Amino acid sequence: MQAFTLDNTSPIPVKLQLKAQVKYQVLAGMLRPGDQLPPLRDLAAGLGVHLNTVVRAFAELEDEGYLRSYQGKGVFVPDELPGPGQGAALRSLLAGVLQSAREFGLSPEEMAMATLAHGQLARPPQAATNRLLLVGGSRADLRRLQRQLEAALPVLVVPVLADELAERVRPREFALAACTLFHETDLKHQLPGLSVAVLAEDGARAAFASLRGLPAGARVAVVAGDWLHAARIRQSVERMGAGSLCIDMYLHEAPPDAQVVVAAAAQTPASAAGLARGHLVITEPAAVPPHALAALRRDIGTPAGNPSVHVRSAWV
List of residues 6+ apart from 214 with CB closer than 8 A = 220, 242, 245, 259, 260
Q: What mean pLDDT is predicted for residues 159-168? A: 83
Three-state DSSP class for 16?
helix
Residue 139: Cβ within 10 Å count = 17
Per residue in 85-135, pLDDT (tens digit) is 555 566 667 777 788 888 878 887 788 777 767 665 554 444 334 788 999
Three-state DSSP class for 260?
strand
Spatial CA neighbour of 266 closest among 280, 251, 248, 256: 251
Confidence of residue 40 (pLDDT cuts 50, 70, 90): very high
| Identical topology for domains 14-85 and 123-200+285-316 | no
Per residue in 269-291, pLDDT (tens digit) is 444 444 444 467 888 888 888 98
Contact 2, 26 (CB under 8 A): no
Question: Would you identify the CATH topology of the domain 14-85?
Answer: Arc Repressor Mutant, subunit A (1.10.10)
Task: Give domain limits for the chain.
Answer: 14-85, 88-121, 123-200+285-316, 210-283
Question: Would you identify the CATH topology of the domain 123-200+285-316?
Answer: Rossmann fold (3.40.50)
Per residue in 177-220, pLDDT (tens digit) is 888 888 888 888 888 877 888 898 888 888 888 888 888 888 88
Measure the CA–CA gap between 221 and 272, rounded to whole angstroms. 11
Phi, psi for 68 (deg, rounded to 5): -145, 130
